[in-house]
Amino acid sequence: MEPNISKLRNIGISAHIDSGKTTLTERILFYTRRIRAMHEVKGADGVGATMDSMELERERGITIASAATHCLWAGHRINIIDTPGHVDFTMEVERALRVLDAAILVLCAVAGVQSQSLTVDRQMRRYGIPRIVFINKCDRVGANPSRVMTHLRERLALNPVMLQLPLGLEEKFVGVVDLIQMKTLKFEGTAGEKIVVGDIAAENMEEALAAREQMLDSLSMFSDALTEAVLEERVDEELIHQTIRKAVLNHQIVPVLMGSAYKNKGIQALLDAVVRYLPGPEEIVQEAIDLDKDESVCTLSAKPDDPAVAFAFKLEDGRFGQLTYLRIYQGRLKRDSTLVNSRNSKEHRVGRLVRMHADRMEDIQEAITGDIVAIFGVDCQSGDTFTDGGRRVSMTAMHVPDPVVSLSIKPCDIKSEENMSKALRRFAKEDPTFRTHVDPETQQTVIQGMGELHLEVYIERMKREYKAQVEVSAPQVAYRETITKTVHYDYVHKKQTGGAGQYGKVCGYIEPMEEGQSEFVDKITGGSIPRQYIPAVEKGFVEMLKKGPLVHAPMERVRVVLEDGNYHPVDSKEVAFLEAAKGAWRQVIHQAGPQILEPIVRVAVDGPPDFSGAILGSLSQRRGMILGQQEEAGQMHIEAEVPLAEMFGYATALRSITEGKAAFSMEFVRYMPAPLNIAQALVEQARQKFDR
C-alpha cells in the first residue's frame, strides 16, 4: 500500500541541556511501541537511553550526534531527528533543522527559557520551523508553567497559546486539564500508559473556564469562523483543532502542552498534538537550485511520482561502511535503483535502503517523498544532493559557518598517527565545521572547529573509536586581519638575469570594505595589461590575502582594485604579473593601517542570584560587554558579548565560582577589531613564531 505523505511528520526535539529531551524521546518511543522498556539517561541499570548510541554519549549522558528514529502514532509516521543541544555543535543542529518540517521545543517547568533555548529558537526561526512547546518537569519543586509562558513571550517573542492546565503541580502533579475537550487527563498504570479521562472537579472549573476563554480569544485572532462560533456559543473541537493547525503553519502561534516525561505524564497528548497541528512534508514549500537552468531557484513538488531528489544531511561510519542519512524531497527511492550525486555526477547503486531506529535499522524496499532513510556504502559528503538523473538539482546550500577555534595535535606513536589521519578524514567529511590541515610553517596538524567543546569531543572520539592517542596544544582563536585605510600602489616587477627577462607593472588601490570576504576588482579597460595576464595578477593578490601582515591570519573586508599597468611584448609572462601583484602588496600593505580582528561570542549565563556578582565579574574580567541581566523566579539570566579568546576554560571557571550551580551557552556573532594591547601581544607572539 502506498504510504500517505500527509500522514508523515518529520520533527526535531530541541531543548536546553537537562530539560528532559532524552527522557521525552525515550517515552515517545515507548508509547509508540518502538521500544519495550524504558531506561533512565544515566540509569542505574547501566543501559542508557536508546537514542544516545555512542559510547561517549552514554557515559556523559548528553546527546551529541543527531540520530534519527521513527515511530507510528494514530496512523501517522513520525520521524524524529534528535538535534544536539550544545551550541558548539551548531552544524549538527543546522543540518538537522534543514530536514525538519517542525519541532517540539522542550522547556523545564522550573527553569523556563534558558540560555540554550534562545540559540535553538533563533536557529528555528531562521529555517521557519513551526513548533509546539512542551513544558516538562511539572512534577519538580518550583514548577510554574505560567511563568514559562511569560518567558516564551518575553524572551523568545513568541505567541504561546496554552492548550492545557496542569492538574496539580510538583509532587501532586497527576495530569492535565485539556482545555479543548474540557476534560481531565490522568496518566496511570505502571508507565502512564493508561489514560483516564475525567470531568473537571468543581473547584477547578472556574480556572479552567477562564483559561479556555483565553485560549479561544488568542485563537480567534486568526479565524473568523472561530470568532463567529464563539459569539454564537457553538464552538466544536474540530474547529479549534483546525484553527490551531492553520495558525501554527502560518507561524502565528505556538501551542503549549505540558507534562512530566520522567513521571510518564502528558506524552500521549503531546503526540496527538504533533500529528494534529504540525505540518506534513507536502505543506512546506521546498526550494532547490536548478543546475540545468543557470542555478536558478526552483520549487520541488513533493509528489511521489516526480523524479527523485534526496539530500544527504548526515554521515556515519557504521559497521557496514558509510551510512548516509537522506531526506527525500521529491519522488521515491528504491532498493537496487541508481542515484546520481549532483555535485560530481557520480552514479551510485542503492544496495540497501533502511529506516533508522537509533543504532538499529530496518531494511525497506522503497521510500517516498518526505521520508527520512539511510543508504549504505555510498561515498559522498554531507550536504550532497542525489537525484535519479531525471532532474539535475541541488538543495539550497546549507549555512556553513567558518571555524573560530583551532588547536594542534600530535600523534604519540606510529599506530596513532595512522589512526589519527583516518579519524580526521572521517570527521571532516561528516562535519563541515570541523576542518584539518598541516600548518606549512610549523608542520603540525591543526584541527579547527566551532568551540572548545566541539574539538574536545572529536579528540575523545579519536581516542575511543579510532585508538589514536594524541598530544593536544592549547586552543587558539582563529583571528582575521583587515585594513583601515585606502592605499595606492604602483609597482614594476623586473628581472633581467640572463635568458628571458620578466616584466610586469600594476597600478591601482587597496581599500577597506564594510563587511564580507575580500575581493579583487579588475578595472582595466584600455588593454594596458593584456587580458590573459589578469588572472595572474588576481592570483598574486589572493595569495597575499591569505596571510595578513600582522599575524599571518586570512584577510577579510579588503578590496583590491587593479586600474592600470604596463607590459613588455617579450618579457611579460604570467609569473611576472603574479610577482608584480605580490610586490605591490608588500610595498603598501603596512601603510593601509592593518588591524587584527577577533571573534566575539554572545554568552548567556543562568545561575542563582547569589552568584550574579561573581558571574558579572567573571565576564567583565574576560573583556565582556554585559548586554542585559534579569532576575526571575530565583534565577539570574545574564547576557554578554565576550571575545572568544577569553572564553577558553570558562566552563571550569564558572563551575568553581558558582559551586556548579550555573550554566552557560555561547554562539559566535561577529569579528571585531582587537584592542591595541591585545593586538600588540599577538603581533609579538607571531613574530617569535614566524621570524626565527
Chosen residue from 88, 94, 139, 388 binding ligand GDP by CB under 6 A: 139
Q: What is the DSSP letter of 460?
A: H
Residue with Cβ nearer ligand GDP (262 or 503): 262
Pick the stretch among 96-104, 131-139, 581-589, 672-680 that binds ligand GDP (CB under 6 A).
Answer: 131-139
Contact by Cβ (8 Å): 459, 472: yes
Pick the stretch among 136-144, 344-352, 429-437, 662-670 that binds ligand GDP (CB under 6 A).
Answer: 136-144
Find the binding residues for ligand GDP in span 16-55 (CB under 6 A).
17-23, 40-41
Pick the stretch among 259-267, 390-398, 663-671, 681-689 that binds ligand GDP (CB under 6 A).
Answer: 259-267
Cell output for 232:
454564537
> What is the torsion angle, in degrees rounded to the nearest 10, for the CA atoms of residue 606, residue 609, residue 613 and residue 618?
-20
What's the closest the beta carbon of residue 376 comes to ligand GDP, in angstroms?
Answer: 29
* Cα end-to-end distance, the chain, whole Å: 72
Q: Which helix (H) or strand (E) holds 277?
A: helix 267-277
Residue with Cβ nearer ligand GDP (48 or 331): 48
What's the closest the beta carbon of residue 137 comes to ligand GDP, in angstroms?
Answer: 4
Say how many residues touch ligand GDP, by CB under 6 A. Answer: 21
Q: What is the DSSP letter of 70?
A: E
Residue with Cβ nearer ligand GDP (19 or 184): 19
Contact by Cβ (8 Å): 273, 151: no
DSSP conformation letters of 393-433? EEEPPP--PPP-EEEEEEESSHHHHHHHHHHHHHHHHH-TT
What's the closest the beta carbon of residue 315 comes to ligand GDP, in angstroms?
Answer: 23
Within a 10 A sphere around the Cβ of 507, how many other Cβ atoms?
20
522 by Cβ neighbours in 10 Å (0-12 / 13-18 / 19+) ranks as: middle
DSSP conformation letters of 621-642? HTT-EEEEEEEETTEEEEEEEE
Q: Is 665 in the site for ligand GDP (CB under 6 A)?
A: no
Handedness of CA 63, 67, 71, 76 (dihedral sign): positive
Q: Is 66 in the site for ligand GDP (CB under 6 A)?
A: no
What's the closest the beta carbon of residue 258 comes to ligand GDP, in angstroms?
Answer: 10
Pick the stretch among 135-143, 311-319, 613-621, 642-650 that binds ligand GDP (CB under 6 A).
Answer: 135-143
Residue with Cβ nearer ligand GDP (85 or 508): 85
Q: Is 140 in the site for ligand GDP (CB under 6 A)?
A: yes
Q: Is 354 in the site for ligand GDP (CB under 6 A)?
A: no
What's the closest the beta carbon of residue 157 comes to ligand GDP, in angstroms?
Answer: 23
Q: Is 165 in the site for ligand GDP (CB under 6 A)?
A: no
What single letter denotes the amino acid at residue 92? E
Residue with Cβ nearer ligand GDP (25 or 286): 25
d(C-alpha 644, C-alpha 404), whole Å = 8
DSSP conformation letters of 193-231? -EEEEEPPPHHHHHHHHHHHHHHHHHHHTT-HHHHHHHH
d(C-alpha 408, C-alpha 438), whole Å = 9
Within a 10 A sphere around the Cβ of 194, how many other Cβ atoms?
10
What's the closest the beta carbon of residue 207 comes to ligand GDP, in angstroms?
Answer: 23
Residue with Cβ nearer ligand GDP (107 or 310): 107
Residue with Cβ nearer ligand GDP (19 or 330): 19
What's the closest the beta carbon of residue 142 comes to ligand GDP, in angstroms?
Answer: 11
What's the closest the beta carbon of residue 369 comes to ligand GDP, in angstroms?
Answer: 31
Question: Residues 261-300 vs ligand GDP: string with x where CB under 6 A?
Answer: xxx-------------------------------------
> Which of 652-680 are b and which e, b meaning 16 or more Cβ less than 10 Å from the residue's Cβ?
eebeebbeeebbbbbbbeebeebeeebbe
Question: Residues 78-117 vs ligand GDP: string with x where CB under 6 A?
Answer: -------x--------------------------------
> Distances in Å between the alpha carbon of 486 and those of 80, 513, 590?
53, 10, 11
Chosen residue from 119, 136, 330, 612 binding ligand GDP by CB under 6 A: 136
Pick the stretch among 211-219, 258-266, 303-311, 395-403 that binds ligand GDP (CB under 6 A).
Answer: 258-266
Residue with Cβ nearer ligand GDP (21 or 327): 21
Task: Collapse the DSSP code of 13 into the 3-class scheme (helix H, G, I; strand E, B; otherwise coil) and give the result.
Answer: strand
Cα–chain-centroid distance for residue 502?
Answer: 51
- Contact residues: ligand GDP, CB under 6 A: 15, 17-23, 40-41, 61, 63, 85, 136-137, 139-140, 260-263
